[in-house]
Structure 1
Amino acid sequence: MAEGDQLQDLLQFLTLETRLDVLSVALHHVLGLTGSVDGIRLFKSDKRYLEAIFTLTRHPQESVATDSYLALVNLSTDVAMAKIITFDYDLVSDFVQYVLKSDSVYADFVCGILSNITRDEHCCEKVLEEIEKSESGLSEVVEVICKDKFNPKNKLHYLGQLLSNLTQLPQARRFILDKERCVVQRLLAFTEYEGSVIRRGGIIGTLKNCCFETAYHLWLLSDEVDILPRLLLPLAGPEELSEEDMDGMPEDLQFLEDDKQREPDPAIRKMLIGAIFQLCATKEGRKIVKDKRAYVILRELDKQETDPEVSSVCHKLISLLISDEPEEGMENLNEVEIPEDVQRELTQADEEEKSNQIKKE
């Protein structure tokens, strides 16, 4: 039987009134379809199936509601489906409010949906708009992220990825970097968070995105925030350094324990290096990063690094730190006009990084 015919036959059983054993079998088949490209294409062809799944998330039987949410998580990985979920139904506000309630049973699944749909910039704008409509706005999202056991039944790790996606947008970055709110300082603690690679990676992605705001670099590098040691510490290993190497280095990076472990995830190591690279965009920023001996940590990382992509970005940053300063008028690297062929390469590399992260999740 063709998948389209199979889905058509299943629709009649996807109701709250269907006998539980029959519904469970039908939903199991639906869940399988949402995990394939061809299956997702079928769901895009007729919204009745999507609407049936929305309805079944309210089913009193936990297994049915769980499979329904899982189906939505799968469907939301597709950009076209993400846009349908975001713009064709008035659900985003409900999703946001749901994950911010401490007693929500299926909050992790809804976090996954929000994380998926906000990969698209237009969907991301819609989600941020709905978040900002609430009295607390992004403040509440940050509060929940910073509380490990906010919801006893859910871990909410994908809120970190959601925040990272939201900081694609300038207004979200400005909130994180508001000097009166002390938000970025709270997030720094998560660069070595061991509870979840997803939450840790999401927060580090958030910090990296914020580092694109050149106007805040000196503040981020100042004692008021002191972001550099928090970015370098996960990249540091147990190697014994000489006094000359440590001269000027932040105290947190000196005399590390013999069992000090580097960040195990290569995608996160790459993000950390990328964040530091951004902080070197201006002459003033480069001087601070150089004076604090970031080169030494990166040099030791490079000796041990086995991932070719991480090695590549590490080499580029090391080259920047040990090279002579650009000629006058070219000191701000973010304002230098990039040749079209180089811009294409950078765009392609960024898209490949995002694609790898999606596959990993």
Structure 2
Amino acid sequence: MPSELEDLVEFLHHGNTQVRQIAVENLVPYSTSQPSIFKRHQLLPINDLKLLIRDYPQIAKNVLTILVNLSGEDGEVRAKLVSDDEFLESLLKRVTDTKEPHADLQCMLLANLSKSPSIPKLLSLQRPVPTPLSTSPFAIDQLLDCFVKGSGGSYNKDANHDYLSYLFADLAKHAAGREYFLTPRKEDEGIVPLSKIIVFTEHGSAIRRRGVANTIKNVCFDVPAHPRLLYSDTDLETPDDVTNPIGLLPYILLPLMGSESFSDEDTEGMLDECQLLPPDKERDNQPDIMATHLESLLLLTTEKESRARLRAVKTYPIVRECHLQVEDEGVREGCDRLVQVLMREEGMKVSEGEGEGGDGEGRVEEVDEDEDEDEQIVDVV
């Protein structure tokens, strides 16, 4: 005989609104404690839940909570949801709706679905243009506009759309995603998508900062794009062959900086944005986000020319002070790895040493230039 819980799942497609509401309210805790109950009969309950996100607001809220919980850990559930284009359209319609009361739950669900290997389909998916939010027919452009314009509830008073940054980070793990973030969009007056989100590295929301930081890090795996990332269109030093420069550096260096002062020698050549900071300037208060920025900088040391650029803008003094001021081991380890690359001479490599007190200074050895270049390919996961 079916258990009471199995009977409750059967009520998800009941014709009476009150019965459905009672069912989903009582099923919410089981989406974490007994998720298998929703996978009965070849995931038939998931089909019911997909339809119920269109139901009355309170029912939809509980259904979204259940789907967020289920999709966070279960790849089979994610695949079921991502493969349904009609369901994706229903999600996108609500995320981009300025009056949707549960848009942030929709964003959380999209962030979970981004773990699916099929999520790059969003990069080419077209749908109706949600004016005045966006002018592009591409779903990814609309989501990016929603993220930018929705900060702090400025687009939808009930949502901040911060969790979309996690979606962007996962998309940037794919080559097609990195290409999207680095390519000027004709649908958006030639703006490079990455340039629209890097401005949030010092935003008040840790969720938004974390997602943006990881998006940047994943984009940095595109080594040929490093010159564009390292220079801006206002830099006098920008090489002539660098087109569509993005100017990433201030946005990943400033979160590592506090209000400390630097010597004239240290500041000479430092980016303007990193000089004369206010006395109340604070570093990012999330060590994992700082560590992610340090990983991005390490990835940017892959090429000799990139290392020269990082040295020229005085990255080392900034990282040195970060190491001195932050006690988190992950941040200090990231500082150590980066400093070992920046402070060695080209044609030399740093071997791991056993300095007194574990200072990590190591030994300097001569190597062939070709070997040195290979050493720079850093795999950060």
Structures share a fold, TM > 0.5?
A: yes
For residues 246 and 108 of structure 1, do their structure 2 counterparts lie closer, same or farther at Cα, with a shift above 3 Å needed?
same
Alignment partner, residue 353 of structure 1:
none
**Does 2:199 match 1:189?**
yes
Alignment partner, residue 30 of structure 2:
33
Alignment partner, residue 140 of structure 2:
138
1:130 aligned counterpart, secondary structure: coil
Given that 1:16 and 1:59 are in contact with CA atoms closer than 8 Å, whether structure 2 keeps it comes out as: no
Given that 1:16 and 1:55 are in contact with CA atoms closer than 8 Å, whether structure 2 keeps it comes out as: no
CA distance in structure 2 between the aligned counterparts of 1:296 and 1:227, rounded to whole angstroms:
18
Gaps in structure 1 of 5+ consecutive residues:
351-361
For residues 223 and 86 of structure 1, do their structure 2 counterparts lie closer, same or farther at Cα, with a shift above 3 Å needed?
closer
CA distance in structure 2 between the aligned counterparts of 1:131 and 1:332, rounded to whole angstroms:
42
Deviates more, 1:65-74 or 1:127-136: 127-136
Aligned-pair identity (%): 27
- Aligned-residue RMSD, C-alpha: 2.5
CA distance in structure 1 between the aligned counterparts of 2:274 and 2:144, rounded to whole angstroms:
27
For residues 19 and 233 of structure 1, do their structure 2 counterparts lie closer, same or farther at Cα, with a shift above 3 Å needed?
closer
| Correspondence for 1:75 among 54, 70, 73 | 70
> Deviation per CA, 1:305-337, whole angstroms, max 9, x where unpaired?
22222221221111111123243223544885x
Q: CA deviation at 1:137?
A: 4.3
> Deviation per CA, 1:163-222, whole angstroms, max 9, x where unpaired?
11111121221121125423322222111111x211222122211111111111112111
2:369 aligned counterpart, secondary structure: coil
For residues 137 and 88 of structure 1, do their structure 2 counterparts lie closer, same or farther at Cα, with a shift above 3 Å needed?
closer
Alignment partner, residue 214 of structure 1:
223
Deviates more, 1:237-246 or 1:22-31: 22-31
Name the TM-score, length of structure 1 as normaliser. 0.84
Given that 1:15 and 1:55 are in contact with CA atoms closer than 8 Å, whether structure 2 keeps it comes out as: no
Alignment partner, residue 8 of structure 1:
6
Q: CA deviation at 1:264?
A: 0.8
CA distance in structure 2 between the aligned counterparts of 1:19 and 1:183, rounded to whole angstroms:
43
Alignment partner, residue 110 of structure 2:
114
Alignment partner, residue 241 of structure 2:
none
Gaps in structure 2 of 5+ consecutive residues:
129-135, 185-189, 234-245, 348-367
Given that 1:56 and 1:65 are in contact with CA atoms closer than 8 Å, whether structure 2 keeps it comes out as: yes
Corresponding letter in the other structure for 1:45:
R
Alignment partner, residue 44 of structure 2:
48
Alignment partner, residue 361 of structure 2:
none
| Correspondence for 1:150 among 129, 148, 155 | 155
Corresponding letter in the other structure for 1:30:
L
Corresponding letter in the other structure for 2:275:
Q
Q: CA deviation at 1:132?
A: 8.5
CA distance in structure 2 between the aligned counterparts of 1:15 and 1:307, rounded to whole angstroms:
50
**Does 2:234 match 1:239?**
no
Deviates more, 1:280-289 or 1:74-83: 74-83
Deviates more, 1:231-240 or 1:204-213: 204-213
CA distance in structure 1 between the aligned counterparts of 2:200 and 2:314, rounded to whole angstroms:
23
For residues 267 and 28 of structure 1, do their structure 2 counterparts lie closer, same or farther at Cα, with a shift above 3 Å needed?
same
Q: CA deviation at 1:129?
A: 4.1
Q: CA deviation at 1:19?
A: 5.6
Deviation >4 Å, runs of 4+: 131-134, 333-336
Name the TM-score, length of structure 2 as normaliser. 0.80
CA distance in structure 1 between the aligned counterparts of 2:99 and 2:79, rounded to whole angstroms:
28
Given that 2:303 and 2:376 are in contact with CA atoms closer than 8 Å, whether structure 1 keeps it comes out as: no
For residues 131 and 164 of structure 1, do their structure 2 counterparts lie closer, same or farther at Cα, with a shift above 3 Å needed?
farther
CA distance in structure 1 between the aligned counterparts of 2:288 and 2:258, rounded to whole angstroms:
17
CA distance in structure 2 between the aligned counterparts of 1:142 and 1:54, rounded to whole angstroms:
24
2:72 aligned counterpart, secondary structure: coil
Alignment partner, residue 178 of structure 1:
183
Larger radius of gyration: 2
Given that 1:177 and 1:183 are in contact with CA atoms closer than 8 Å, whether structure 2 keeps it comes out as: yes
For residues 33 and 305 of structure 1, do their structure 2 counterparts lie closer, same or farther at Cα, with a shift above 3 Å needed?
same
1:14 aligned counterpart, secondary structure: helix
Q: Which has the higher helix share?
A: 1
